Amino acid sequence: MDIAFIGLGNMGGPMARNLVRAGHAVAAFDLSADALTRAEKDGARVATSARDAASSADAVITMLPAGPHVRRVFGGEDGLLTAARKGSLFIDCSTIDVESARHVAGEARAKGFGFVDAPVSGGVGGATAGTLTFMVGGSDDDFARAKPILVSMGQTIVHTGGPGTGQVAKICNNMLLGISMIGVSEAFVLAEKLGLSHEKLFEVSSNSSGQCWSLTKYCPVPGPVPASPANRDYAAGFTTAMMLKDLRLSQEAAGAAGAATPLGAEATALYALLAARGDQDLDFSSIIRMIRGETGRG
């Protein structure tokens, strides 16, 4: 297929490379010249603008920082929606606010385009290995069109429902992740103070009701889970800044929907403190250091 790829950063770069490797013709655009040079090396055609990339594409993928970028690239007289080929499919893989996702989906639908919001989890490692999880919001037809493209970049493709529900799934999951990481960290710090070893708490909790992903797959202390960032001095992984972004999106959405998420609000405040003390680029599991009372790196 002819695919336009807009936004070739840490995630979009390797995702576009996997599309090329799968045999798609990829027209790439980014504001960064370095990103374009890398995309060209990976076998993509470098476009002169987002509109140029989209003008001959069957599908247009965007992987941009946040909602305002997506609205800007899609909307207005010089946006993608006035440049793309009739009936083409838009796949927005960025993590953005639910309202922007639904707004852009509505605009695309009104102009006769297909649209799915398809945020991902799996990080740069998953983007590079082609093992991302996609959470896809959109109609059955649009999902059916998007899936054969997404399988070249990911392993698990979940149709979450109508437009915007991919973003909803992403922020609900990451709010839960932020809260559970804080809970696991508090348990380890309490155990330290009371003389229980990390290994013994892990052995008990991973086999009892405290069991969760933050404990068994991403343990915030070194030792029990050798692959977790705690064993690499909290090199990310998934940064504190990214977690804070997703938590803020969850709180924006909770406010708009009238949902009570007191622990989500508390997690947002704690991750804001962690970022403010200079640990924004460390892995988000480094929150245990703040809970322990250690000073930040910034």
> Considering the complex, what minimum distance in angstroms separates the CB of residue 288 from ligand NAD?
20
- Among 32, 37, 197, 295, contact with ligand NAD (rule: CB under 6 A): 32
Kindly state the smallest distance separating residue 32's Cβ from ligand NAD, in Å.
4
Q: From the CB of 286, what's the least distance to ligand NAD, in Å?
A: 15
From 170, 193, 200, 245, the catalytic residue: 170
* Cross-strand pairs, 158: 135
Q: Does 9 bind ligand NAD (CB under 6 A)?
A: yes
The contact mask relative to ligand NAD for 40-59 (x = CB under 6 A, - = no) is ----------x---------
Among 10-18, 97-105, 213-221, 270-278, the segment contacting ligand NAD (CB under 6 A): 10-18
Interatomic CA distance for residues 254 and 176, integer angstroms: 13
The residue among 13 and 264 lying less far from ligand NAD, judged by its C-beta, is 13
Q: Do residues 240 and 298 touch, judged by C-beta distance below 8 A?
A: no
Closest CA to 100 of 272, 260, 256, 268: 256
Window 79-108: residues binding ligand NAD (CB under 6 A): 94-95
Distance in Å, CB of 237 to ligand NAD, minimum: 8
In the structure encoding, which two tokens stand for residue 163, read together? 């437009």
Q: Shortest Cβ distance from residue 278 to ligand NAD (Å)?
A: 19
Angle at 284 between CA 283 and CA 289, to 5 degrees: 90
CB 121 within 8 A of CB 149: no
Tokens 């999902």 sit on residue: 143
Query: For tokens 């909290």, what's the residue?
Result: 234
Cα–Cα nearest to 145, from 88, 95, 93: 88
Give start and end residues of each alpha helix (H) in 55-163: 67-74, 98-110, 123-129, 140-150
- Kindly tell me which residue out of 3, 12, 113, 146 binds ligand NAD, with binding defined by CB under 6 A: 12
Query: φ and ψ at 108, to 5 degrees?
Result: -65, -45
Q: Shortest Cβ distance from residue 249 to ligand NAD (Å)? A: 9
Say which residues have a Cβ less than 8 Å from residue 190's Cβ, sequence separation at least 6.
Answer: none
8 part of the interface to ligand NAD, by CB under 6 A: yes
Q: Chain-centre distance of CA 120, in angstroms?
A: 5
Residues 65, 76, 87, 255: which binds ligand NAD (CB under 6 A)?
65
Instruction: Name the DSSP class of 206.
Output: T
Q: Please tell me whether residue 35 binds ligand NAD under the rule CB under 6 A.
A: yes
| Nearest-CB residue for ligand NAD | 9
Q: How far is CA 44 from CA 5, 57, 125, 127, 255, in A?
A: 9, 13, 21, 17, 41
Q: State which of residues 3, 59, 73, 191 lies at the interface with ligand NAD (CB under 6 A).
A: 73
CB 160 within 8 A of CB 168: yes
* Residue 11 is a binding residue for ligand NAD (CB under 6 A): yes
Asked if 62 and 96 touch (Cβ cutoff 8 Å), the reply is no
- Contact string (CB under 6 A) for ligand NAD, positions 109-128, x = contact: -----------xx-xx----
- Would residue 170 show up in a list of annotated catalytic residues for this protein? yes
Q: Is 10 in the site for ligand NAD (CB under 6 A)?
A: yes
Annotated catalytic sites, by residue? 170
Residues near ligand NAD, by CB under 6 A? 6-12, 29-32, 35, 50, 63-65, 69, 73, 94-95, 120-121, 123-124, 238, 242, 245
